[in-house]
């Protein structure tokens, strides 16, 4: 089976180690929630897997379907099926969502293969209907002047269109309002299925009231320190992250 396998991963920003030996395997169809206090390396983990140039992998490996992706450019990893839903997605002035997605879909086709525009728009509109997104939305420039909720909607739509094998959802931001939270939750629940593995990074338990994870991992100081099922999230909510820190200190 093709899984996303993170093996003893160490990631540094400049000289500073952030992720310090993290291992995790995500199989298709599974939703893994990664929780943890701020500054513990959750976003770093996601960006490093996606290949952000500012993050250096100093040790360990990331395998997709048994093959290391670390030598691949970010766009190769994306085309291989890794999707990163950004915490702060960039604006691309003058490029409409429809044209942006079209370029992304075209980029996945073979050399000399031409995208069928009619089929593309048909599929786009299907996905928009599925996610209850207004048709007018895709003529707007990507993320330009978007509210927090609109940015999330844009990310979810891209994910729906690009049909990744693994989605890394970086939702760590505490600034997610109820609206944005709902959009992300509904989107993930709609797209959830046997072909999609999800790594859901979240700071708060409240997102997990809407997306029920198969596994919950607690990340602290660059490592996973505790894993369990959805009840772990509830336990965290009632006892706080200090509980994990204390347990660690005792161990």
Residues of this chain that interact with another protein (CB under 8 A) are: 50-54, 73-75, 78-79, 83-84, 86, 89-96, 98, 100-101, 103-104, 107-108, 114-118, 120-121, 124, 138-139, 141, 158, 162
Residue closer to another protein by CB (options 73, 229) is: 73
**C-alpha–C-alpha distance, residues 154 and 135, integer Å:** 12
Of residues 165, 195, 151, the one with CA closest to residue 77: 165
Please state the closest distance from residue 14 (CB atom) to another protein, in A.
15
DSSP states of 152-175: HHHHHHHHHHH--SEEEEE---TT
Please state the closest distance from residue 71 (CB atom) to another protein, in A.
15
Please state the closest distance from residue 74 (CB atom) to another protein, in A.
4
Q: Are 70 and 62 in contact (CB under 8 A)?
A: yes
Please state the closest distance from residue 69 (CB atom) to another protein, in A.
13
Q: What is the CA radius of gyration of the chain?
A: 18
Residue closer to another protein by CB (options 37, 89) is: 89
| Residue 247 neighbours by CB under 8 Å, 6+ apart | 225, 226
| Residue 64 neighbours by CB under 8 Å, 6+ apart | 2, 4, 5, 77, 80, 81, 82, 165, 166
Please state the closest distance from residue 139 (CB atom) to another protein, in A.
5
Residue closer to another protein by CB (options 81, 213) is: 81
Residue closer to another protein by CB (options 160, 208) is: 160
Of residues 136, 107, 164, the one with CA closest to residue 153: 136
Residue closer to another protein by CB (options 138, 202) is: 138
């Amino acid at each position: 089976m093709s899984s996303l396998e993170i093996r003893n991963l160490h990631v540094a920003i400049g000289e500073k180690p952030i992720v310090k030996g993290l291992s995790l395997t995500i199989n298709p169809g599974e939703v893994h929630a990664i929780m943890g206090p701020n500054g513990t390396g959750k976003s770093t983990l996601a960006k490093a897997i996606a290949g952000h140039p500012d993050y250096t992998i100093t040790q360990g490996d990331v395998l997709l379907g048994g093959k290391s992706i670390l030598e691949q450019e970010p766009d190769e990893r994306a085309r291989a099926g890794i999707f990163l839903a950004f915490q702060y997605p960039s604006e691309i002035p003058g490029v409409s969502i429809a044209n942006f997605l079209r370029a992304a879909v075209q980029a996945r086709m073979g050399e000399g293969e031409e995208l069928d525009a009619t089929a593309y728009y048909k599929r786009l509109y299907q996905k928009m209907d599925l996610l209850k997104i207004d048709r007018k939305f895709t003529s707007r420039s990507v993320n330009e002047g978007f509210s927090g909720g609109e940015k999330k909607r844009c990310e979810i739509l891209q994910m729906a269109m690009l049909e990744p094998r693994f989605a890394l959802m970086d939702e760590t931001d505490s600034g997610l309002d109820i609206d944005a939270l709902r959009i992300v939750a509904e989107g993930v629940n709609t797209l959830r299925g046997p072909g999609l593995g999800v790594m859901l990074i979240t700071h708060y338990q409240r997102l997990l009231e809407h997306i029920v994870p198969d596994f919950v991992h607690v990340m602290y100081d660059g490592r996973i320190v505790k894993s369990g099922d959805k009840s772990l999230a509830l336990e965290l909510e009632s006892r706080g992250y200090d509980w994990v820190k204390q347990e660690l200190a005792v161990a």
